[in-house]
Amino acid sequence: MSEIEITKIIKAINTSDGAGVKLKRSIGTPEANYIDPFLMLDEFGSENKDDYIAGFPPHPHRGIETVTYMLNGEFEHEDSTGSKGRMTPGDVQWMKTGRGIIHSEMPAMADGKLLGFQLWINMPAKMKMNKPKYDYIKANKIAQFKDENKSLNIIAGKFENVEGPVKKHNVEPIFFDIELNDNKKINLEVPKTHNSFVYLLKGDVKIGKNNTRKINDSNLVLLSRGTELEVYANKKSRFLFIAGKPIGEQIARGGPFVMNTKQEIQQAIKDYNNGTFAKY
C-alpha cells in the first residue's frame, strides 16, 4: 500500500463557454492543461438565469468523450445522430464523440439554480475515428453507498461492494460524488497506474496524511500516484473524486477537437466546413 498525497492545489478560474454560460474551469487551464487522460473540467452553475439561459447552441466535437453530470436544473440535449434527451438532477450523459458529432445543450428552465459538471476525457488514437455514441444514465441508475459517515454517488468505479454503471472503459475510470459528514473520513482505493484528483465543491477537507494546507470551495487538488487516499472532513463537505489510467499519447488541440497531430486538427476543421464531419 502507498499513500496518495497532494501535489498541487489549483483555484478554478472564472470563464464562459457556449453562448456565454458562466463557469469555473480547473482542468484545461495554464496551471493544469492536461491531466492524462483528462482534458477539461468545468463547474457550471448559477442562480441567475442570465448566466446560463443562452446555453450551448449546436457545436462540434471530435476525438474526446464528454461526461456531463447534473446536480441542479434541467438541460435538453440534441445531436447529429438524431438522439434527444432531457437531463434532470442526478443524471449523467457520457458521450463518446469519436469521428464527429454536432450537438447542443440548452436550458430547459427559465429560472432557478443550475449546477453541474462537464469532464472531457481523451480518446486513444485507435478510437478517435469511431462512430459516436453515448450512454444516458438516469439518476436512479447511478449506484449509491451510504452509511452514518458518508454518502457516495458512484458513476464509475467501485467502492466497497458497490459498482457504478460505467464499465469496461479503456481508461478504467473512477468517478465518485462524495458527501462526508463533519469530522469523518473516507479511505479510497486507487490503482497505482491511475492519475487522480479531488474537486472540492463545498466544505473543508484534509486530503492525504501529510497535508496541512487550506483547501477552499471550487479548488482542484492534484494527487500523487499511489493506492490509498484518505480524505477527512473538518466540516460537512462535498467533492468529486476522479481517476483514470493515462493514455500516454501526444495530443493536439483545436477548440472542440482533440487529436494526435496538427494535421488531424486541420482535417477535422476541413471536414466540418465541407459538411462531411458528422456523416456516418
Inter-residue contact 22 to 52 (CB < 8 Å): yes
Q: Where are the beta strands (DSSP E) in 157-260?
A: 158-159, 162-163, 174-180, 185-189, 195-207, 219-223, 228-244, 252-254, 257-259
User: Of the ranges 16-25, 95-104, 191-200, 206-215, which is most confident?
Assistant: 191-200
- Chain segment 122-177, per-residue pLDDT in tens: 999 999 999 998 889 999 999 999 999 999 999 999 999 999 999 999 999 999 99
Domains and CATH numbers, the chain: 6-274 (2.60.120.10)
Residue 280 has pLDDT above 70, yes or no: no
Confidence at residue 47, expressed as pLDDT on a 0 to 100 scale = 80
